[in-house]
Each structure stands twice: as C-alpha cells, then as structure tokens.
Amino acid sequence: MSADASDLSLVRRVQRGDKGAFDVLVLKYQHKLVKLVMRYVRNPAEAEDIAQEAFIKAYRALPQFRGDSAFYTWLYRIAINTAKNAVVSRDRSPVEYDLDRNNTDESYDMQGRMKDSETPEGLVLTDEIRSTVNAAIEALPEDLRTAIVLRELEGLSYEEIAEAMACPVGTVRSRIFRAREAIDRRLREVFEGGLGRAEELG
C-alpha cells in the first residue's frame, strides 16, 4: 500500500480537471498549513492569507507535480516559500510600530485575530468547536481515545498503533473510525447550528 495513495488519487483527479478533488485536499490540510505558516508570521489572519496563497500556487503548479514526493511534503514546501517571501516583502515595506508587541502570546493572538477579516461569530464558533471536540474525546472509551490520539497527535501509522496497542491493524482502523464517528456526531450539531461553512463547500 502506498503511504500517499489517497492524496495521490485526489491529486490525479485534480490533474484530470476535477476541481472538487482539490477542495478535499484543502479541507484536509488547511489547518496544518496555517499552523506551519504561523512559525513565520505571528498574525493568524496573515497566516491564513499566506496559506490561501500557497494553496492557489499549489493548484496552479499541480500539472508539474509528478508524485515523486508525498503531496503534503510538496505543499509544505510551497507554503514555506510563500511565507518566507511574504516576510521579506513585509520587511521591505514601511515599518509598523506595534506597541502591543510585549503582550503575552494569547492577547497578541486574539488581537491578531480581531484585527483582520475574522468575525466575532467565527471566533465563537472556533471556540465552541474546540470545546465540543475536547468534551467528546474525554467521553470516549479508553481504547478508542488512545487510538485516535496516537494517530492524530503522534502521527503513528495503523501498523505502529497496532503494535503499541497489541491488536490487529483491522481493529485499529475500526477503533479510529468509531472514535471519529462519536466525535463527529457531536461536532455536526455545532456546525449545523452554527455557520457550517464546511457544508457550503459541497
């Protein structure tokens, strides 16, 4: 089994003209990319702009992607270059004196978020999503919680998780799926009751 088979199958679809498949890739990697870009820029709104630009660059460069490396490795490289260029061009622009630079990370983070296009409703929704997911994880049976955390937090493969939990790979797949289902059931209520922008993408 190829480690990147699912991404590659989506990439091939985009290369054949299926733009919907690119939405799927963006949905999967948007958070990771914003997080990555925030190593270079501290403002979350600016990080989102750079991530958006990186995705658009990736889409335009996708015809040249041959699949020699994993898609996310290639995407991350584009994002890092875009972030570095953004930092360089920002440094060349007139200096902004930010008197609040000495504040704590948390307050700067909130200020950055409120500075740009982010709406208060969006921030509330994000906080609600976070608390819902955390509560749902806490409510999971231990074997499901361990499986999903090892996968998402530690980035272990199913085989590695199976070894760690002393169970077959099929059981790991089932546990991770059931954990996601349990969390998603509660999360869906938040999205359907809130802005539900992910639904709009469909």
**Cα separation of 158 and 62, whole Å?**
29
Measured N-to-C along each axis, helices 71-92 and 44-61 cross at an angle, to the nearest 10 degrees, of: 130
Binding-residue total with another protein (CB under 8 A): 88
The stretch near another protein (CB under 8 A) out of 28-36, 73-81, 84-92, 93-101 is: 28-36
- The residue type found at 26 is V
For residue 41, give the nearest of 82, 78, 75 by alpha carbon.
82
Report the nearest approach of another protein to the CB of residue 91 (Å): 21
Q: Do 13 and 2 form a contact (C-beta atoms < 8 A)? A: no
**What mask, x for binding another protein by CB under 8 A, covers residues 52 to 91?**
x--xx--xx-xxxxxx------------------------
The stretch near another protein (CB under 8 A) out of 17-25, 73-81, 82-90, 95-103 is: 17-25
Site membership for another protein, residue 7 (CB under 8 A): yes
Measured N-to-C along each axis, helices 158-165 and 142-152 cross at an angle, to the nearest 10 degrees, of: 140
Evaluated on CA atoms 43, 48, 50, 54, the torsion sign reads positive
Comparing CB distances to another protein, the nearer of 95 and 153 is 153
Site membership for another protein, residue 40 (CB under 8 A): no
Report the nearest approach of another protein to the CB of residue 179 (Å): 9
Instruction: Sort 133 into a burial class: Cβ within 10 Å, 0-12 / 13-18 / 19+.
Output: middle
Site membership for another protein, residue 164 (CB under 8 A): no
Report the nearest approach of another protein to the CB of residue 83 (Å): 14
Report the nearest approach of another protein to the CB of residue 139 (Å): 13
Sole binder of another protein in the list 90, 188, 189, 193 (CB under 8 A): 188
Q: Do 2 and 67 form a contact (C-beta atoms < 8 A)? A: no
Comparing CB distances to another protein, the nearer of 1 and 95 is 1
